[in-house]
């Protein structure tokens, strides 16, 4: 997550690590966000009634309030169902540049109910302890502009104490990383199942900094397809077959196939080195080290796993391997290949030297889970590729370093990621031109005089504001937004793709597949 949106982090931080980055939890996160603006049974604000000159007032719910006590409405029930609609798709628009799909920055409301650990603390304490990617000065300015609200009422002071059921709302100027502009290929759509060939770099559903640059939103915005149910997910850097159910009934049927292991999956990848010929089976158990980023390792305490591998080709330097995961653990193929000593090319986690001299081969890692996570962060921080880990800010040590970076105006997308050079964007994968691009092409607009909900446009290759001629498309530049002040180069090819592709999904009465990606073909030559 980029450091530009601490307000964003305040709204989406999970209550427990277990809620983050597992396949199931990411879908829950998406569903939460999908219903974030869903209709409630009671949307009317409750205003306390003043009654006589007594010491107590009666709140909107009939509760007697002491003088100075805030009325907090009870949690409101949301209507169930998938709720991404045209209203959400119209929040902003895309533009295309240098082989990338970019999103015009836009204003967005993040909402969250008060976490249990926040109860009794002031907003100031919560921002200081948990959301340090922005300074307290920033939050104070945001309060003055009415961007922080409790129960739909603008906060007047950060000293307000949070209570159970407080609904917090943060208005942020949201910047999304670019993704590849490869069109989404529809493999099948029979009214019950929609099957897409997902390009690398595009997340399946809204998560982290991504909302419009996701498969769900691209389908909605460009093809008018909505109300989809996710059956499974692919990692952001993984490409290939992706299934959606069109109806709830179909979704339940496919979910049952997954649980009963009747869904046969075939992947293809390119790995480092000469993979052994013949069939190779790996049955090492896998343990989740960090739910925050989905980091896993082979461990006797892990869950049972089984993956079948078969080499398809070897070009003298690396190998193309067919993968059949017979179980469905997080990062199963990637972890098993690392254990075997053949990490996937461009794998930012399991190909990292942070695992030690053997890079995790044979499960030999002479580090605790905490040391391993920190080593991964430090390695990518030093290479200015920390964004590729997709780590929430609260996992990364922030401290004074982030504050110093803020002061200099050189803040990378993750807290504490300093750079003496121009920062590169996360792209989630992201591609061609690396030339420095002139400023965001933004005009300075004060949100007080401009509706915060209006879509905004901006040149997505993020660069520090200069007096240069703006590039198209023109848009808004927010005076409080730290991301607007940054220079970001477009991502490299290596940052846009990991050589892992979902080639085929087969059930009892269906089969969907794609052609081999170019990098999996025998005559493929890696670009310098």
Q: How far is CA 363 from CA 264, 294, 339, in A?
A: 27, 17, 6
Q: How far is CA 260 from CA 189, 257, 483, in A?
A: 24, 5, 46
Q: Residue 473, preceding bond cis, omega within 30 degrees?
A: yes
C-alpha of 87 from chain center: 21
Distance (Å, whole) CA 459 – CA 163: 41
Distance (Å, whole) CA 497 – CA 123: 40
Q: Which two three-digit tokens encode residue 469?
A: 């001629």
Beta bridge partners of 323: 267, 309
Among 349, 369, 459, 409, smallest CA distance to 97 is for 459
Q: Determine contact, residues 369/350, Cβ cutoff 8 Å.
A: no
Q: Which two three-digit tokens encode residue 73?
A: 């409405």
Q: List residues with catalytic annotation.
A: 235
End-to-end CA distance of the chain: 29
Q: Which two three-digit tokens encode residue 132?
A: 């340090």
Distance (Å, whole) CA 461 – CA 479: 18
Distance (Å, whole) CA 490 – CA 171: 27
């Amino acid at each position: 997550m980029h450091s530009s949106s601490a307000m964003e982090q305040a709204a989406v931080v999970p209550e427990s690590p277990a809620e983050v980055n597992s396949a199931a939890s990411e879908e829950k996160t998406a569903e939460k966000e999908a219903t974030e603006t869903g209709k409630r049974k009671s949307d009317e604000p409750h205003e306390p009634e003043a009654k006589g000159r007594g010491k107590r007032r009666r709140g909107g719910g009939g509760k007697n309030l002491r003088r100075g006590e805030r009325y907090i409405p009870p949690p409101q029930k949301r209507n169930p169902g998938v709720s991404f609609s045209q209203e959400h798709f119209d929040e902003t628009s895309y533009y295309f540049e240098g082989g990338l799909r970019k999103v015009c920055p836009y204003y967005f409301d993040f909402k969250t109910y008060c976490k249990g650990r926040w109860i009794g603390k002031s907003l100031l304490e919560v921002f200081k302890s948990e959301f340090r990617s922005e300074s307290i000065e920033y939050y104070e300015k945001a309060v003055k502009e009415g961007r922080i609200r409790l129960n739909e009422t603008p906060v007047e002071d950060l000293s307000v104490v949070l209570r159970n059921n407080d609904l917090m709302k943060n208005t942020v100027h949201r910047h999304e990383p670019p993704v590849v502009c490869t069109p989404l290929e529809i493999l099948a759509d029979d009214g019950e199942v929609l099957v897409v060939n997902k390009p690398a770099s595009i997340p399946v559903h809204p998560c982290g900094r991504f909302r419009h640059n996701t498969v769900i939103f691209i389908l909605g915005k460009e093809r008018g397809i909505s109300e989809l149910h996710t059956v499974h997910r692919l990692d952001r850097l993984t490409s290939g077959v992706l299934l959606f159910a069109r109806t709830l009934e179909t979704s339940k049927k496919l979910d049952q196939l997954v649980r009963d292991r009747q869904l046969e999956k075939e992947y293809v990848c390119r790995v480092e080195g000469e993979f052994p010929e013949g069939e190779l089976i790996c049955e090492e158990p896998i343990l989740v080290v960090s739910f925050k980023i989905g980091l896993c390792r082979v461990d006797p305490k892990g869950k049972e796993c089984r993956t079948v591998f078969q080499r398809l080709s070897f070009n003298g330097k690396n190998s193309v391997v067919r993968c059949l995961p017979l179980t469905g653990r997080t990062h199963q193929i990637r972890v098993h290949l690392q254990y075997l000593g053949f990490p996937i090319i461009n794998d930012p986690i399991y190909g990292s030297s942070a695992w030690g001299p053997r890079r995790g081969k044979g499960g030999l890692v002479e580090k605790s889970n905490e040391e391993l996570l920190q080593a991964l962060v430090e390695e990518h921080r030093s290479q200015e590729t920390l964004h590729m880990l997709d780590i929430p800010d609260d996992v990364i040590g922030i401290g004074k370093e982030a504050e110093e970076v803020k002061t200099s105006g050189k803040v990378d997308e993750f807290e504490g990621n300093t750079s003496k050079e121009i920062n590169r964007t996360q792209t989630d994968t992201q591609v061609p031109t690396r030339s420095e691009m002139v400023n965001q092409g933004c005009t300075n607009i004060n949100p007080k005089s401009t509706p915060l909900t209006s879509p905004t446009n901006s040149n997505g290759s993020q660069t520090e504001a200069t007096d240069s001629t703006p590039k198209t498309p023109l848009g808004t530049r927010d005076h409080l937004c730290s991301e607007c002040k940054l220079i970001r180069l477009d991502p490299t090819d290596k940052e846009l793709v990991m050589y892992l592709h979902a080639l085929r999904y087969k059930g009892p009465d269906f089969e969907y597949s794609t052609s081999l990606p170019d990098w999996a073909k025998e005559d493929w030559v890696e670009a310098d």
